[in-house]
């Protein structure tokens, strides 16, 4: 039986190698923007200025104080700059932190965003914003003393996204693998996340296919533009699937692990994902079959493990420094957040099993199959 709710998200996507250099000015014109605030990190500033050069005096200010997870003072400084120069659009060139800064500006000013992503974060196709506030005791923003607030507002969804794989070739292989694996987790999870529907599943399946092709090829040759194109396409689909379907069991477990033990984000995702699939798969046979098809394997759990192995990801959370006696606490943290409609009931005991499997790591035989 087909029975679903689906709210399609608006947004124009321009995809192609060289598209940013070729089409940026026309896309700004299309938005009828005449006073553009350019946002980029200090590292990407030269690239951003080069891309924006055809806009000439339409670029009225450049904001480069981008920081990870959009600290509130950074958001406030960017907003103040946008207002002081009377910007009528925000052009972001960079990864999720840069897009996030542009979103923070859009949230309070309503300005349209034109996003040119340079990583595989996928934020550019979601209406989700995030801001980090320092706790009263904190002297700096860190995972321990910072409090992240997230929300959803259609005003922060970029109006136009230009995907240009040429801009991602410079992203170091390790960061590319981390970013791509994160996107892969969004795709797999989209099959059972709370707002899943046939359209988000379509995006997710093809996203897995593109990412699973692009990741090993990029790992073998980071300058391989065809691999970069697959990764960027997969990132777009992953972001689209996540934007619509939301996050579920896998992300709740990873969030608990990351928050409590400061484990590295992408590696944690890569290690936990096959274990969540092993748990949910028997109760979600259609998802399992589609993930298998996308990975071109008869055993998608082993397929995910093999992909991580190929990218040099450690096999178990214990290799990341987590200790066995931390498993109970992590399970207790994750359990209350798990969506009620997960394909299988996932109580604290079940989550403990999943985390234990991820902690121990799969035996080498299945990791390399």
Residue corresponding to tokens 């299309």: 30
44 binds ligand NAD (CB under 6 A): yes
Residue ranges of alpha helices (H) inside the chain are 19-30, 45-52, 72-84, 96-109, 173-190, 198-220, 225-245, 249-261, 265-280, 285-295, 300-310, 327-334, 348-360, 364-367
The minimum distance between CB 81 and ligand NAD, in angstroms, equals 19
Please report the beta strands in 126-190, taking only residues with DSSP state E, as ranges in sequence order: 128-134, 146-152, 160-163
69 binds ligand NAD (CB under 6 A): yes
68 binds ligand NAD (CB under 6 A): yes
The minimum distance between CB 237 and ligand NAD, in angstroms, equals 13
CB distance 299 to 323 below 8 Å: no
Region of 81-89, 122-130, 158-166, 298-306 interacting with ligand NAD (CB under 6 A): 122-130
Region of 37-45, 205-213, 281-289, 355-363 interacting with ligand NAD (CB under 6 A): 37-45
Closer residue to ligand NAD in complex, CB, 84/149: 149
Region of 123-131, 206-214, 316-324, 333-341 interacting with ligand NAD (CB under 6 A): 123-131
- Both tokens of residue 98? 């840069």
101 binds ligand NAD (CB under 6 A): no
> Applying CB under 6 A, which of residues 122, 222, 274, 281 lies at the interface with ligand NAD?
122
Nearest residue relative to ligand NAD (C-beta):
96
Number of neighbouring beta carbons within 10 Å of residue 218: 27
The minimum distance between CB 231 and ligand NAD, in angstroms, equals 11
- Both tokens of residue 85? 């120069």
Residues 6+ away with beta carbon under 8 Å from 36: 28, 52, 55, 58, 59, 60, 87, 88, 89, 90, 91
96 binds ligand NAD (CB under 6 A): yes
Query: What is the C-alpha to C-alpha distance for residues 107 and 88, in angstroms, rounded to an integer?
Result: 14
Pairing status of strand 146-152 against strand 59-63 = unpaired
Closer residue to ligand NAD in complex, CB, 43/84: 43
CB distance 267 to 314 below 8 Å: yes
Which positions from 238 through 297 interact with ligand NAD, judged by CB under 6 A? none
Which positions from 124 through 153 interact with ligand NAD, judged by CB under 6 A? 126, 128, 130
Nearest Cα neighbor of 354 from 268, 259, 292 is: 268
The minimum distance between CB 14 and ligand NAD, in angstroms, equals 17
Closer residue to ligand NAD in complex, CB, 37/181: 181
Helix (H) or strand (E) holding 113: strand 113-117
The minimum distance between CB 362 and ligand NAD, in angstroms, equals 26
Residues in contact with ligand NAD, shown as a per-residue x/- string from 163 to 182 under the rule CB under 6 A = ----xx-xx---x---x---
User: What are phi and psi for residue 36, nearest 5 degrees?
Assistant: -95, 130
> CA distances (Å), 362 to each of 36, 41, 333, 357, in order?
50, 39, 23, 7
> Applying CB under 6 A, which of residues 14, 113, 121, 327 lies at the interface with ligand NAD?
121
Closer residue to ligand NAD in complex, CB, 110/285: 110
Region of 53-61, 115-123, 269-277, 353-361 interacting with ligand NAD (CB under 6 A): 115-123
Closer residue to ligand NAD in complex, CB, 171/358: 171
100 binds ligand NAD (CB under 6 A): yes
Query: What is the C-alpha to C-alpha distance for residues 30 and 20, in angstroms, rounded to an integer?
Result: 14
Closer residue to ligand NAD in complex, CB, 68/285: 68
Binding site for ligand NAD (CB under 6 A): 41, 43-44, 68-69, 94-98, 100, 118-119, 121-123, 126, 128, 130, 167-168, 170-171, 175, 179
């Amino acid at each position: 039986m087909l029975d679903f709710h689906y709210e399609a998200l608006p947004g124009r996507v321009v995809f192609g190698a060289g598209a940013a250099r070729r089409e940026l000015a026309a896309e700004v014109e299309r938005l009828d923007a005449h006073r553009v605030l350019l946002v980029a990190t200090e590292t990407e500033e030269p690239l951003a200025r080069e891309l924006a050069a055809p806009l000439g005096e339409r670029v009225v200010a450049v904001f480069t104080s981008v920081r990870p997870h959009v600290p509130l003072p950074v958001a406030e400084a960017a907003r103040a700059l946008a207002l002081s120069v009377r910007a009528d659009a925000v052009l972001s060139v960079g990864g999720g932190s840069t897009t996030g800064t542009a979103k923070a500006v859009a949230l309070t000013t309503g300005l349209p965003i034109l996003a040119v992503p340079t990583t595989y974060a996928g934020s550019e196709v979601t209406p989700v914003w995030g801001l980090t506030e320092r706790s009263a005791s904190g002297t700096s923003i860190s995972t321990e003393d910072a409090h992240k607030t997230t929300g959803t507002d259609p005003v922060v969804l970029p109006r136009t996204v230009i995907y240009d794989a040429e801009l991602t070739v410079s992203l170091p292989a390790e960061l590319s693998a981390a970013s791509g694996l994160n996107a892969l987790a969004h795709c797999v999870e989209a099959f059972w996340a709370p707002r899943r529907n046939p359209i988000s599943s379509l995006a997710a399946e093809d996203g897995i296919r593109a990412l699973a092709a692009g990741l090993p090829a990029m790992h073998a040759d980071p300058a391989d533009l065809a691999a970069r194109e697959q990764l960027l396409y997969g990132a777009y689909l992953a972001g689209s699937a996540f934007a619509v379907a939301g996050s579920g069991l896998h992300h709740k477990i990873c969030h608990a692990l990351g928050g409590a033990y400061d484990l590295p984000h992408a590696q944690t995702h890569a290690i936990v994902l096959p274990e969540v699939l092993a748990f949910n798969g028997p109760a979600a046979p259609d998802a399992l079959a589609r993930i298998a098809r996308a990975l071109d394997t008869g055993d998608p759990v082993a397929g995910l493990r093999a992909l991580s192995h190929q990218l040099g990801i450690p096999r178990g959370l214990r290799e990341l420094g987590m200790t066995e006696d931390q498993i109970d606490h992590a399970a207790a943290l994750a359990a209350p957040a798990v969506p009620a409609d997960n394909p299988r009931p996932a109580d604290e005991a079940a989550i403990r099993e999943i985390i234990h499997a991820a902690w121990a790591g799969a035996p080498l035989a299945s990791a390399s199959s």
